[in-house]
Amino acid sequence: MEFFDNILLGFSTLFVPSRLFFCFLGTLIGTVVGVLPGIGPAGAISLLLPVTFSLDPTTGIIMLAGIYYGCMYGGSTTSILVNIPGEAASTVTCLDGYQMARQGRAGAALGISAFGSFIAGTIGVVGLMLLTPLLTKFAVAFGPPEYFALMFCGLSILIYLASGSVLKAVIMAVVGIFLGVIGLDITTGIPRFTYGSLTLFDGVGIVPVVMGLFGIAEVLDSIERPTQQEVVKADLSHLLPTRDDWKASAGPILRGSVVGFFLGILPGGTATAATFASYALEKKLSKHPERFGQGTIEGVAAPEAANNAAVTGAFIPLISLGIPTNPVMAMMLGALIVGGVQPGPLFIKERPDIFWGVIASMYLGNLMLLILNLPLIPLWVKILRIPMSVLAPLITLFCMIGCLSLNGNYVEVLIMVLFGILGFVFRKFEYEAAPLVFGMILSSPIENKLRQSLLMSEGSFGIFFTRPIALFFMAVGLTFFLLPVLQYLWSRRRSA
């Protein structure tokens, strides 16, 4: 009975006019951002993060969650019709989705993408609802050493999974950790690296940094490399998948949902990794693997299901442990903390209205997205034709308004512009921004838990290797941290 009471609590929390409006607004914005190439969920959430500070925490996180999984829905439209991923997690969809569009089956590809995303999102919400309370009970056993080991493990996995050089990812993570320690020391109150600036006494704000790295940098990149987007002219009248389409896609959707959900839970796991893993699994299980990349519907259904399920799975460690698994979750953690809410083992017990309200919003949000995506696909096609010369000034304006609305401090606008330029330079030299943001968000809790652990052990680092849970996470983290070095040494030995 308690389970059904909690669900009723969630829907009673959600069914307030303002929250229903922001749930719809989040899914709509997320879909539009997913359709527009290059911006992605991190950029959209960084732009709208200041808006949530004026809302109550429940409404704010409902809106941000809607943007996140809405981006996963919208990204498939661009991948299928333009062969440009709307965001990174839709990259794999280009392989078969665009080929289907060229063969005159764009409607079937878009339809199975929408239905597969809806099914996977629903499965993910059920998993979130069932697993989060169980993990919360397990997390009560966590002390400072376990939390430090878990965060170290997540940072190591994120660095290892970086798409480019691991060394570059380590450098970016270290830069992020350094940015996170700027300001007053959390224990002694002594200023660190502030150089007399009153703005830096409170530290470098996460919002100006992410707006610069993802918003301004994207504008600068688009100015340097203008691209002509050619939308495939295809028949969009038959959006409902046929019986044969469902027969071919049912298994991939279910398998993609499971793979994506559990990869989303892992520290450092991303929706992008989930799509590649699900696509590789379907290709391996298929009786005709040679058809992948030629326009097979399984190649669209599996990754689209995986990326939506991964988004839902990523909420589990955030809510139960207070640990973000990717930069988007890190920004959501920041939004909750600003709202006076601290995710962790006691979160569900202390704030059940937020947890079950978000669960209810995901059920409704997935339904909203299904209704939005199918009838409005012709509208999304028109949006795709908006030139970047129009979008770039608007993105810049929204970034500046959002940054200035935080504290009315022009110095933070300068910080945003600085990181926009740095973000552009990072892209030129293939340095990923994600490890920097992740390191910056985790810097303060890592330092805090490390100090608490060393106080408990009277300065001995052995405390991280004598407690079973901490030892497990440290072992996994060290393995992923040292694996690139071992691979490099092994490759040199083989070449010699």
Predicted pLDDT of residue 367: 85
Q: Is the pLDDT confidence value at 385 over 80?
A: no
Domain assignment of residue 226, given as a range: 2-495
Q: Is the pLDDT confidence value at 87 over 70?
A: no
CB atoms closer than 10 angstroms to residue 18: 11
Q: Is the pLDDT confidence value at 237 over 70?
A: no
Lowest mean pLDDT, pick from 176-180, 303-307, 331-335, 366-370: 331-335
Handedness of CA 301, 302, 304, 310 (dihedral sign): positive
Average pLDDT, the chain: 80
- Read off the pLDDT of residues 181-214 as tens digits, 9 standing for 90 and up: 888 887 777 888 888 888 888 888 777 887 788 7
DSSP 267-307: TT--HHHHHHHHHHHHHHH-S-GGGTTSS-THHHHHHHHHH
Distance (Å, rounded) from C-alpha 328 to C-alpha 210? Answer: 10
Among residues 289, 272, 271, the alpha carbon closest in space to that of 281 is found at 289
Handedness of CA 461, 455, 266, 51 (dihedral sign): negative
Radius of gyration of the chain (CA): 22
Place of tokens 């959430």: 45
Widest Cα–Cα separation across the chain: 70
Q: Which three-class secondary structure state does DSSP give residue 339?
A: coil
Lowest mean pLDDT, pick from 15-19, 146-150, 254-258, 374-378: 374-378
More confident residue, 77 or 15: 15
Residue 458's contacts (CB-CB under 8 Å, 6 or more residues apart) are none
Distance (Å, rounded) from C-alpha 128 to C-alpha 281? Answer: 23
Predicted pLDDT of residue 270: 65
User: Mean of the pLDDT values across residues 24-44?
Assistant: 78
Q: pLDDT-based confidence at 422, cuts 50/70/90?
A: very high
Q: pLDDT-based confidence at 170, cuts 50/70/90?
A: confident
Total structural domains in the chain? 1
User: Mean of the pLDDT values across residues 470-482?
Assistant: 87
Is this structure's pTM higher than 0.85? no
Q: pLDDT-based confidence at 1, cuts 50/70/90?
A: low
The identity of residue 94, as a single letter, is C
| 3-state secondary structure labels for all residues of 62-85 | HHHHHHHHHHHHHHHHHHHHHCCC
Q: Which three-class secondary structure state does DSSP give residue 86?
A: coil
Q: pLDDT-based confidence at 442, cuts 50/70/90?
A: confident
Predicted pLDDT of residue 375: 74
Among residues 260, 283, 282, 285, the alpha carbon closest in space to that of 273 is found at 260
Lowest mean pLDDT, pick from 11-15, 350-354, 391-395, 463-467: 391-395
Predicted pLDDT of residue 453: 92
